[in-house]
Structure 1
Amino acid sequence: MDYVHDFRELRRSARRRLPGFAFDFIDGSAGREAAAARNVQAFADAEIHPDPLHPRARETRCALFNQSYAAPFGIAPMGGLGIIDGRADISIARAAAACDVPYVLSSVANTSLEDVARAAGRSPWLQLYCPQDRSLLFGLVDRAKDLGCPVLMLTVDMPMVGKRLRDIRNRLSIPFRWSARTVIDVVARPRWGLAQLVNGPLQFPNLRVPADDADDLATLMARQTGGIIDWELIATLRDRWPNALLIKGVQSASVARRAHQLGCDGVVVSNHGGRQLDGAAASLHSLSAVAAATRGGVTAIDSGLRCGEDVLKARLAGASVAFFGRPVAFAYAAGGQAAVEALLRILRHEYLCACVQAGEGSPDVQLLLRNELVPPAAS
């Protein structure tokens, strides 16, 4: 599939296939979208200083929480992908299982945790928001525990929904608010419209917050994500959850250190793909300091990765594992599950190629980030 070889091609293909408001929901970010741009630019600007004489390792497998995966990258949690079609969550989970990489289901996915696990043949990692009704939170945690989900990923960077101007301008709502503009947009893409008719209105079965009375998308999301998260809640989750617990949305060493002291198994360095705070630092720029503060735990990263070489850059900066978001969503929009599988295979090949060329594993391989070499000990 030629259209999965490059992120820009994927994006163009997805744009052709999706109505404008659906494409904007995936592609858009907060405010002026500067944070999203910084995420990508940080990876583009980072330079690898290779060791051309180091023996070339050709194995990409990695171990995470006592499980072996084909590569040290996976699929980030993405809510609302039913806006592409109602099979998105299941199809992407199946693609991840077929390619043997971690898949993180969002708690605001449009498919239930149980249905995804059944369809994919394995329980996903679960990303957790804190709804305003905390009983919904603990109910979902208990469902994940009963299902044997290996990792719980509590997201802490969404106390309020970011101001996403594209969604506001499009008057995006769940259920959809039809206008002459959206009707024309959908008529031009009849396959998308047919898929939405077949699958029915979007639901959020994991937190079971009804969508039929939402004024707009931000209102619905606020009910699902606007609960108070503090260290007491994290300690409670640590006591209640028997498997690995990660804190997602961390960008400072002090927060990472506190999470580690409370018994969390790691953190995810993330600024939510730039979809929350437009002034947030690029995730890659925060990574090495956070990784140094969580020695002995897992440090993951998302936001801004676009190719397999970016995974190596993240690893050199201290990441244990990296997660892709928009590239996967665009691949699915462009060509369904087959396109996602093709993308994951390409990313793995790109990562392997970068490792071999750089001499990954040599202490002399370093990353130049913001004109400073990241110490090898951080990798």
Structure 2
Amino acid sequence: MTPITCNEDLRQLAMRRAPRAIFDYVDRGSYDEHTLNGNRRALDALMLRQRVMIDVDQRSLATTMAGEAVSMPVGLAPTGLTGILHADGEILAARAAQAAGVPFTLSTVSICSIEAVRAAVEKPFWFQLYVMRDRDFAASLIQRAKTAQCSALVLTADLQIQGQRHRDIKNGLTVPPRLTVGNALDLLRRPRWAWGMLRTPHRNFGNLAGFISGGGKGMTTLSQWIGSQFDPTLSWQDVAWVRSLWPGKLIVKGILDADDARAAVDAGADVIVVSNHGGRQLDSAPPAILALPQVVAAVGDRCEIWFDSGVRSGQDVLKALALGARATLIGKAFLYGLGAMGERGVTTALDLIRRELDVSMALTGTRDVREIGPQVLWRP
């Protein structure tokens, strides 16, 4: 096998091993994908300031995220349908994150349930909440997260209404995936994936069992279900309501605007994640890395600020920290590893980022990740 040297290698391998509809769900964005592609262009455009003849022998990547010690400023973002990209995907990703000393976040629309993931790991993870139209059900999810000893709650703010993702509609993505005339050959050409899915009991939305109409038996496409259950009336008052129910750290994800950042802090957020949902929601929204400085300026030290959307390498992590983020979250980057090689692939994705961040710190004259600031960026 050709050595894996970068995240793109994992992406190419995942493309070959996962069914097309599922890979497209992970890989693509909304509408014409201007924001999806803009995330990468904006990160690539930032240049690093090379420094030489500085003692960088003893380097440290260790820091904290939401008060928890981490081995590097990287966490696994909440990603829906992870368990159909690879059988038991959420469990495997949580195990890899635990071994790497970084946080894992379980999505509301995960395939493996809160309880199944908690039983498989020693360390509590974080839980991501979508507030449904049924507030009692949302409250029950919060209670289940508390019972599982989840150490932080991530409230996603930017999916009240789903941006159209052309590929998902054309592929007819359902959960669990249906065998049709159109996709039969594609599924049969992925025997590794098919065998894994046949062996696992986790093939549906684990956290939503009994809530989805029809028993959750693949009765609708993902986009149709989201359209019927997600709540467009969600407001900052609802964030305050969630805050009143959740005693631990509250992380609000999906902020691009300074006014929204201030409102999130006022509503009780301990952490803000600057994110455009990986280019999967409002197309033509700005690249998240360009929005980061104004959010940092707006809320200052009132809360922690993290960055998400487009992070694929250690250099990307370094750039986000240089612009004021305390830490970063990765989505596609670890999903490519999961789709390529399961738990070992997630470990590989994290190891790649760790090594890239370490080397890039050294070449910018930085020994401690907590010392990263604007000085590592090259400015003409």
Q: TM-score scaled by structure 2?
A: 0.92
Q: Aligned-pair RMSD on alpha carbons?
A: 2.0
Residue deviations 1:204-244 (CA, integer Å, cap 9, x gap): 22243332263211112234533532111111112221111
> Which residue of the partner structure matches residue 273 of structure 2?
268
> Which residue of the partner structure matches residue 376 of structure 1?
none
SS in 2 for 1:12: helix
Cα distance in 1 for residues equivalent to 2:276 and 2:52: 34
1:201 Cα offset (Å): 7.0
1:171 Cα offset (Å): 1.4
SS in 2 for 1:48: coil
Q: Check conservation: 2:10, 2:345, Cα contact below 8 A.
A: no
Residue deviations 1:18-76 (CA, integer Å, cap 9, x gap): 12112111112101112111111111111123444555360000012332110001111
> Which residue of the partner structure matches residue 76 of structure 1?
77
> Which residue of the partner structure matches residue 341 of structure 1?
347
- Does residue 334 of structure 2 align to residue 328 of structure 1? yes
SS in 2 for 1:47: coil
1:362 Cα offset (Å): 7.0
Cα distance in 2 for residues equivalent to 1:104 and 1:188: 31
Paired-residue identity, % = 33
> Which residue of the partner structure matches residue 282 of structure 1?
287
> Which residue of the partner structure matches residue 256 of structure 2?
251
Within the candidate set 290, 305, 312, 1:306 is matched to 312
Deviates more, 1:88-97 or 1:238-247: 238-247
> Which residue of the partner structure matches residue 363 of structure 2?
357
- Structure 1 residues 213 and 197: alpha-carbon distance in aligned structure 2, compared to 1, 3 A threshold: closer
Question: Partner amino acid for 1:225?
Answer: F
Cα distance in 2 for residues equivalent to 1:58 and 1:203: 43
Q: Check conservation: 1:140, 1:207, Cα contact below 8 A.
A: no
Question: Partner amino acid for 2:30?
Answer: A
Deviates more, 1:82-91 or 1:358-367: 358-367
Question: Partner amino acid for 2:91?
Answer: I
SS in 2 for 1:32: coil
Cα distance in 2 for residues equivalent to 1:31 and 1:230: 25
Question: Partner amino acid for 2:375?
Answer: V
SS in 1 for 2:182: helix
Cα distance in 1 for residues equivalent to 2:3 and 2:234: 41
> Which residue of the partner structure matches residue 240 of structure 1?
245
Q: Check conservation: 2:7, 2:349, Cα contact below 8 A.
A: no
Residue deviations 1:264-305 (CA, integer Å, cap 9, x gap): 112111111111111111110101111222222111111101
- Structure 1 residues 84 and 3: alpha-carbon distance in aligned structure 2, compared to 1, 3 A threshold: farther
Q: Check conservation: 1:136, 1:207, Cα contact below 8 A.
A: no
How does 1:131-146 map onto structure 2 within 5 Å? 131-146=132-147
SS in 1 for 2:43: helix
Q: Check conservation: 1:174, 1:202, Cα contact below 8 A.
A: yes
SS in 1 for 2:306: strand
Question: Partner amino acid for 2:115?
Answer: E
Cα distance in 2 for residues equivalent to 1:302 and 1:362: 17
Cα distance in 2 for residues equivalent to 1:294 and 1:150: 24
Cα distance in 1 for residues equivalent to 2:15 and 2:203: 21
> Which residue of the partner structure matches residue 38 of structure 2?
38
Cα distance in 1 for residues equivalent to 2:222 and 2:51: 49
Cα distance in 1 for residues equivalent to 2:321 and 2:348: 23
Question: Partner amino acid for 1:242?
Answer: P
Q: Check conservation: 2:152, 2:251, Cα contact below 8 A.
A: yes
Cα distance in 2 for residues equivalent to 1:319 and 1:188: 42
Cα distance in 2 for residues equivalent to 1:300 and 1:364: 16
Deviates more, 1:218-227 or 1:62-71: 218-227
- Does residue 327 of structure 2 align to residue 317 of structure 1? no
Q: Check conservation: 1:51, 1:364, Cα contact below 8 A.
A: no
> Which residue of the partner structure matches residue 25 of structure 1?
25
Structure 2 unaligned residues grouped into runs of 5+: none
Structure 1 unaligned residues grouped into runs of 5+: 374-379
Cα distance in 2 for residues equivalent to 1:300 and 1:239: 23
Cα distance in 1 for residues equivalent to 2:309 and 2:31: 16
> Which residue of the partner structure matches residue 191 of structure 1?
192
Q: Check conservation: 2:324, 2:373, Cα contact below 8 A.
A: no
Q: Check conservation: 1:130, 1:224, Cα contact below 8 A.
A: no
